């Protein structure tokens, strides 16, 4: 018998399979998602299309979603493979947004527990949150994942904008190679 702290892996894979089927049947504007390997429901490949009227417009940004075995009790990790320049994305591509942080109280006091991971979140809600992050005119600089990008936003927003637009252009070119 499994405990709530260690859910049945079969129910996890059923939930992930259901979400994959739903996204395949009813695609959502702005991204596509699928499995990296058909035999592994815990690793997803994602393509986010740069949101219109943003610095990322026209870009194609590849990322990976890695789900833990106790999903949906714990959040997946998301990492961009395409180079990104954003205060809330670590230099190695790991996305730092509230809904991907483990449930419970934030030890640093930046986030309300209701902003953090909840088992009701889906792949769709995660990716829409990331698109919202990229669409924001002014990124959250309170606790940056990329300190250099945050500093650039504060000190030279025009330089930041040029760098992001260049990355978006390059990502579009690479998507067609």
Listed in sequence order, the DSSP H helices in the chain are 9-25, 123-135, 147-155, 157-175
pLDDT, tens digit, 9 for 90 and up, residues 37-93: 999 999 999 999 999 999 999 999 999 999 999 999 899 999 999 999 999 999 999
How is domain 9-175 classified at the architecture level of CATH? Roll (3.10)
Whether 175 is a known active-site residue: answer: no
Task: Determine how many CB atoms are found less than 10 A away from the CB of residue 174.
Answer: 13
Query: Tell me, what's the pLDDT at 115?
Result: 72
Query: Tell me, what's the pLDDT at 6?
Result: 46
Mean model confidence pLDDT for the chain? 87
Of 18-27, 49-58, 62-71, 146-155, minimum mean pLDDT range: 18-27
Q: In the sheet that 31-37 helps form, which strands lie side by side, from edge to edge?
A: 31-37, 40-49, 60-66, 77-80
**Residue 145's closest CA among 107, 96, 110?**
96
Of 4-18, 79-93, 104-118, 163-177, minimum mean pLDDT range: 104-118
Task: Name the active-site residue from 96, 130, 153, 164.
Answer: 96
Q: How far is CA 163 from CA 49, 166, 169, in A?
A: 17, 5, 10
Query: Tell me, what's the pLDDT at 28?
Result: 86
């Amino acid at each position: 018998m499994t405990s709530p702290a260690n859910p049945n892996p079969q129910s996890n894979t059923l939930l992930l399979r259901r979400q994959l089927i739903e996204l395949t049947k009813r695609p959502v504007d702005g991204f596509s998602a699928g499995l990296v390997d058909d035999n592994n429901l815990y690793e997803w490949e994602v393509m986010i299309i740069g949101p219109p009227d943003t610095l990322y417009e026209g870009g194609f940004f590849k990322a990976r979603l890695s789900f833990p075995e106790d999903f949906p009790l714990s959040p997946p990790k998301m990492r961009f493979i395409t180079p990104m320049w954003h205060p809330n994305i670590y230099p190695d591509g790991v996305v730092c947004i509230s809904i991907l942080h483990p449930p419970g109280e934030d030890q640093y006091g930046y986030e309300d527990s209701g902003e953090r991971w909840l088992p009701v979140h889906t792949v769709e809600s995660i990716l829409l949150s990331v698109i919202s992050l990229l669409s924001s005119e002014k990124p959250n600089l309170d606790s940056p994942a990329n300190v250099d990008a945050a500093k650039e936003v504060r000190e030279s927003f025009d330089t930041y904008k040029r760098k992001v637009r260049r990355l978006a252009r390059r990502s579009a070119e690479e998507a067609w190679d």
